[in-house]
Amino acid sequence: MTKVALVTGSASGIGEATVRRLAADGMTVVVHSRTSRAAGSALAAELGGSYLQADLENSAEASELVPRVLTAYGRLDVLVNNAGISWPVPHDDLNGLTADDWRRLLEVNLIAPWLLCTAALPALRESRGAIVNVTSHAGVRPKGSSIAYAASKAALNHVTKLLAAALGPDVRVNAVAPGLVDTAMTASWTDAHELWKTSSPMRRAAQPSDVADLIAAVLANTYLTGEVILLDGGLNLR
């Protein structure tokens, strides 16, 4: 039977590249977004999958996303927690992030993936499936668009390892941790783009397809679990 993959935040950017890659690999893909309904629906129709809308900042909506997939398909083989939010705040601007900013970042970047993993676990155990969390090099290195963002991704990296230890051998859990990716969200981040062009061995930001290819490779390797794989063009070496 065809595998079913849910990729959150997949109407554009890394998520779009990922559903395109997984569909090309023969999976039935479920496209998700918070607001881009027209784009998500069109993409799902193009790929022969389906589209679901949910606001992952709302815990109730996040918790219902996987059951909606199971109602439609009766199975789930792959969960890619890609959806996330970020905006630049200088690390030395301690007043630039409010308590509500922290709560919002943690809700979307950490708590929602946890709720999705929890909801998906019975189906993934049955299919001996896999979870890939899209985190960030900011969760490994003292970098990132803001301290709160970096902290949310560092926490998700550690949750990845804890889940892998707890859920094996039935379910594999890994994380892909990109550096700067050339998307609409980062188009205005001129300083970051200049840093990658001048300081990383690859001399460029990643393309969404670079991340999608790594996610596909992680899913294809049925022995790999508990890893946080950096994909930052070698900037971590500097």
* Tens digits of residue pLDDT in 153-184: 999 999 999 999 999 999 999 999 999 999 98
What amino acid positions are annotated as catalytic residues? Answer: 149
3-state secondary structure of 7: strand
Distance CA 61, CA 214 (A): 29
The predicted pLDDT at position 187 comes to 86
Closest alpha carbon to 66 in 38, 47, 179, 56: 56
Positions in the chain short of pLDDT 70? none
pLDDT for position 77: 98
Q: What is the pTM of this model?
A: 0.96
- In degrees and rounded to multiples of 5, residue 228 shows phi and psi of -115, 110
Tell me the sheet residues that pair with 51.
31
Spatial contact of 30 and 5, defined as CB atoms under 8 Å apart: yes
Where do the domains of the chain lie, and which CATH numbers do they carry?
4-237 (3.40.50.720)
The identity of residue 186, as a single letter, is T
Three-class SS of 124-186: HHHHCCEEEEECCHHHCCCCCCCHHHHHHHHHHHHHHHHHHHHHCCCCEEEEEEECCECCCCC
> What pLDDT does 238 receive?
85
Average pLDDT, the chain: 96
